Structure 1
Amino acid sequence: MKTFLFKTTAIAALAASTALPALADKASGTLNVAFTKELENVDSYFNSSREGVVLQRAIWDGLIYRDPETNEYIGNLATSWEWIDDTTLELKLREGVTFHNGEAFNADDVVFTVNYVAKEENGVKTQRNVNWMKSAEKVDDYTVRILLKDKFPAAIEFLSGPVSMYPNEYYAEAGPSGMGLKPVGTGPYKVTEVVPGQHFVLEANESYHDSPKGQPEIAKIDIRTIPDVNTQMAELFSGSLDLIWQVPSDQAEKLATMDQFTVANESTMRVGYLQMDSAGRSGEDNPFTKLKVRQAINHAINRQELVDALLKGKSKVVYTPCFPSQFGCIQDVTEYEYDPEKAKALLAEAGYPDGFTIEFYAYRDRQYAEAIASYLNAVGIQTDFKMLQYSALRELNMNGEVPISFQTWGSYSINDASAMVSQFFKHGALDSTRDDEVLEWLNVADSSTNPDERIEYYTKAIQKITQEAYWAPMFTYNTNYVFTGDVDYTPTPDEVLRFVDMSWK
């Protein structure tokens, strides 16, 4: 069994050589935050990163809001809604709301936004978030109808998450590139500065409407992209940062021993998994078209050791291509115990007695990816490891050029299996399996209004996905948040960093 050792000397050195950090300057009202990953575009429809979700919830509003604690659906830009029929949702809109640029919010904005993002040719990055909508129609200035392509019982959940409302006049002129540089929403924070991929400045929206999100208490949020966690921690000690998140477990454990910091660990809906090109899109000699190779991969990974040694916190082992709490994410599936000898035997039976060499891709958590690669190496699969930016790896995946990769998905914090299983197994650009039977079952599960029927067909799909070992699901994530003594914040289990919930002590 492989043992993982952690480097804690850097933190110890910082603690020994650095005075207590200068606490956040409440007089200036500025909270200084670090992002680790570069955000390709602030426009929420044209990125699919967690950092993008964080900014989306701060800058824009949806029609509906789901309380992260109670899961209750509450009106936000809509005050009420009702189903006219199975594919027509009518919503009454909130009056008196204005966008950050002064445009008044009304039905025209909803119609424009829905009709724009629902058209596949407009290129929304995560089609699953929007392609269930056909169009929107204006009934009057504050009443709209959203027309669905088919019955979609998760519609309210999606409208409470990734579907944000944009100003029709501004977006028609600015488009995704303009919105990315000068974002305009109705949310609790407005953007005053964007340096793409590097720096974002938000200021409280003093005219924010009576939203269930609550009112912003911190006047200014200054966010910088700092890819190196050690650099983030050095700035935390010096006082130039007040809050960092997604801190590796070993470093968070050290910081938790220091009285000047609060370390909060919370579960997330993010799942880490290996995606294998079982459809053979990456080349004729791709070994992952063979079931026994995919089974060998699953048996080669010591999931529990990864959780215990690396992730820690509230992470758990999973064998499903979805998060356990999501509706339809059944747990009665094929499980692959850690058995490297069985993995070697399966490789030999598949025609690879000496293993093989393959390109292995990842975009985050290098330590996790390297540990996974070491398990593969141990059974004879030699990995040509390639670490890329998320956007670059996503494009390679969409083009079918990746044989195997370490991926994660947080489902945009949508508590429905369709947000993950249907995202990756319905013949879209990111589907590496192309299983027609799974597609057929997911089509039923996604459109049925009968909860029992939905579960029945998600069960069929998920059980086949695991039986065929299309993926190697491994673990759920947790997130470590570290902040200074002047910051008051309680993280929620949906991995959304909510600035509107933060305040000074």
Structure 2
Amino acid sequence: MVIGRMLRGLAVVAALGLAAGEAAAQKSADTLRILFRDAVPNIELYFNSQRTGLILSHLAWDTLVHRDPVSFELKPALATDWKLIEDNSLEFTLRQGVKFHDGSTMTADDVVYTINLAADPNSKVATPSNYSWIDTAEKIDDYKVRVKLKRPTPAALEYVALVLPINPKAYREKVGAEAFSRAPVGTGPYKIVKLDQAKEVHFERFADYYKDSPKGMPRIGKLLVRFVPDAATEMTELLAGRADWIWNLNPDQFDSVNKMPTLQAVRAESMRIGYLSIDAAGRSGAGNPLTKLKVRQAIWHAIDRETIAKRLVTGGSRVPPAPCYPTQFGCDGDVAVKYDYDPAKAKALLAEAGYPDGFDTELVSYILPQWTASVQSYLQAVGIRAKVSQLQVAAAIQRAWRGENPLYLGSWGSYSVNDVSAILPNMLGGGNDDYARDPEIHKLLEEGGSANDPAKRKAAYSAAIKRVTEQAYWLPLHTYVNTYGFVKTLDFKPFADELPRFYLYGWK
């Protein structure tokens, strides 16, 4: 209701041309104003696990290999060539003449330093499974690097392309990790000229960006990224002409935004999955009801995922049959145990588990409050009284990693890697997000991630998926359909891998 009144009121402002004037002024200043709700605590990708962090990283940093956003074809970037050596090493030939934003030249020293930093357990990277396949990197000469693998890793180049941005060794060592996070330097198409941690980031086009980059020279000169606390503030800023681009707005606002004379909204499904993590391992309290199989099965039967996908997420959202995105290699929906929406069966299972009157628990969430309320309501209907703790993304993740979330609503985009090794090991492989702690699953995921034979990989991942769903550990709720709102003067195109590439966009 509040958003509806706001939309109607600000439509008058837009009709008077005030918001349009703001947007036109920003176009003339060649500055794109971008808003995100999830403030990034550390902009260096290795030390945050947020989608926003990945998006910002690809603006200011480059990787050795580039993945085309449309075809997913791997193309040369900071490396001009690469080859696999005896299944256990990757050798990269580096591009010469690439400049960092501080004017220094990229060499093998920078690449070796960065990769070894990411692979070192003492670095305490945010998502260890992204780099757990790396043993060490070594310098062959100034422009050749060999990366030794701990095991065969078929998806290695996908990880190289998406989550291995190269840092300048001399500068980062000189200033230290903390100072680097406040004044970072990369080789990307934009350089960071001002950073107010968790508040705003200012980018400017990098004049010395290398000419053969598959990203190309940015079309827009400046980007101003601001972090705001919630969806309502984000929408207010867009409607008032103080922002040019937002995403993940409430789907209910899609039609209203498209009625605004200066704005446009579009939808696109992404590889992101909304999920409910259930504390089967008792990390949030030993012996709590969620450690019982029948309670977890009751939860899976209690939630009407089809209705959530079709009526709340909308835009073509689907219920994944398995705990992974359907196109990912190894995502076998056929072996997954199916749980229909059946509240009567959920109540019966709770009674069999010793909870005929239900029980009290906590539901921690950073997703849209309307979606959280829906899950809470379905649980309440079968007797599970879940108190909601609605948090900012970083705070919810920190609580999850400490093992404090009995029920946890979140989302995972697999860093856009089209392989189940980017989702199952992270959520169920023994790391911070694993609330199952099942040794059998750990073993199967290790087998799937360490074989080159596609048939062996599929067999291991299928067995893991079957076990996860039999034990009702981690409930996939729906695919994400990103809803974007932006000024009509922006030439914007969404991509399926959920990575807005602001260096490709321009003014109409």
Instruction: Identify the match of residue 332 of structure 2 among 330, 333, 336.
Output: 330
**Partner residue of 1:71?**
72
Deviation track 1:413-464 (CA, whole Å, cap 9, x = no partner) reads 1111010011121212221111111111111110110111111111110111
- Is 1:393 the counterpart of 2:396 in the alignment? yes
2:37 maps to a residue whose letter is: T
Distance 1:308 1:314 in 2: 7
Deviation track 1:121-178 (CA, whole Å, cap 9, x = no partner) reads 1111111111211110000000000011111111011001011111001111233322
**Partner residue of 2:224?**
222
**Contact kept? 2:108, 2:143, Cα under 8 Å:** yes
Distance 1:230 1:390 in 2: 16
Instruction: Identify the match of residue 478 of structure 1 among 467, 473, 481.
Output: 481
- Is 1:280 the counterpart of 2:276 in the alignment? no
In structure 2, relative to structure 1, the CA distance for the partners of 1:208 and 1:432 (3 Å cut) is: same
In structure 2, relative to structure 1, the CA distance for the partners of 1:175 and 1:494 (3 Å cut) is: farther
- Is 1:466 the counterpart of 2:463 in the alignment? no
Distance 1:11 1:229 in 2: 13
**Contact kept? 1:24, 1:31, Cα under 8 Å:** no
**Partner residue of 1:355?**
358
Distance 1:493 1:147 in 2: 31
**Partner residue of 2:181?**
180
**Partner residue of 1:345?**
348
Deviation track 1:286-307 (CA, whole Å, cap 9, x = no partner) reads 1111111000000110111111
Distance 2:284 2:49 in 1: 23
Any idea what SS the aligned residue of 1:374 has?
helix
CA drift of 1:394 comes to 2.1
Any idea what SS the aligned residue of 2:326 has?
coil
Distance 2:339 2:239 in 1: 43
CA drift of 1:201 comes to 0.5
Any idea what SS the aligned residue of 2:162 has?
coil
TM-score by length of 1: 0.96
**Contact kept? 2:110, 2:169, Cα under 8 Å:** yes
**Partner residue of 2:270?**
268
CA drift of 1:89 comes to 0.6
Distance 2:24 2:38 in 1: 23
Instruction: Identify the match of residue 451 of structure 1 among 438, 451, 454.
Output: 454
Distance 1:28 1:8 in 2: 31
CA drift of 1:472 comes to 1.6
**Partner residue of 1:236?**
238
- Is 1:139 the counterpart of 2:135 in the alignment? no
1:134 maps to a residue whose letter is: D
CA drift of 1:361 comes to 0.6
Distance 1:466 1:29 in 2: 50
- Is 1:53 the counterpart of 2:54 in the alignment? yes
- Is 1:422 the counterpart of 2:425 in the alignment? yes
- Is 1:152 the counterpart of 2:153 in the alignment? yes
**Partner residue of 2:63?**
62
**Partner residue of 2:11?**
15
Distance 1:373 1:203 in 2: 44
CA drift of 1:238 comes to 2.8
Moved beyond 4 Å, runs of 4+: none
**Partner residue of 1:127?**
128
CA drift of 1:282 comes to 1.8
**Contact kept? 2:10, 2:240, Cα under 8 Å:** no
Distance 1:364 1:334 in 2: 26
CA drift of 1:314 comes to 3.1
- Is 1:437 the counterpart of 2:452 in the alignment? no
Distance 1:344 1:220 in 2: 56
**Contact kept? 1:319, 1:466, Cα under 8 Å:** no
**Contact kept? 2:7, 2:239, Cα under 8 Å:** no
CA drift of 1:17 comes to 4.5
Please identify, of 279-288 and 191-200, the stretch whose mean Cα deviation from structure 2 is larger: 279-288
**Partner residue of 2:206?**
205
1:290 maps to a residue whose letter is: K
Unaligned runs of 5+ residues in structure 2 are: none
CA drift of 1:495 comes to 1.1
**Partner residue of 1:368?**
371
Deviation track 1:36-95 (CA, whole Å, cap 9, x = no partner) reads 111111111111111101101101011001111101010110011001111111010000
Deviation track 1:213-235 (CA, whole Å, cap 9, x = no partner) reads 12201000011112233333333
- Would you say how many aligned residue pairs link Structure 1 and Structure 2? 501
**Partner residue of 2:410?**
407
**Partner residue of 1:110?**
111
CA drift of 1:7 comes to 5.5
Any idea what SS the aligned residue of 1:164 has?
coil
CA drift of 1:479 comes to 0.8
1:11 maps to a residue whose letter is: L
2:56 maps to a residue whose letter is: L
**Partner residue of 2:317?**
315
**Contact kept? 2:235, 2:249, Cα under 8 Å:** no
**Contact kept? 2:189, 2:205, Cα under 8 Å:** yes
Distance 1:100 1:364 in 2: 35
**Partner residue of 1:24?**
24
1:350 maps to a residue whose letter is: A
**Contact kept? 1:324, 1:331, Cα under 8 Å:** yes
**Contact kept? 1:24, 1:484, Cα under 8 Å:** no
TM-score by length of 2: 0.96
CA drift of 1:340 comes to 0.7
Deviation track 1:175-222 (CA, whole Å, cap 9, x = no partner) reads 332222111000010001111111110001111112111220100001
- Percent identical across equivalent pairs? 42
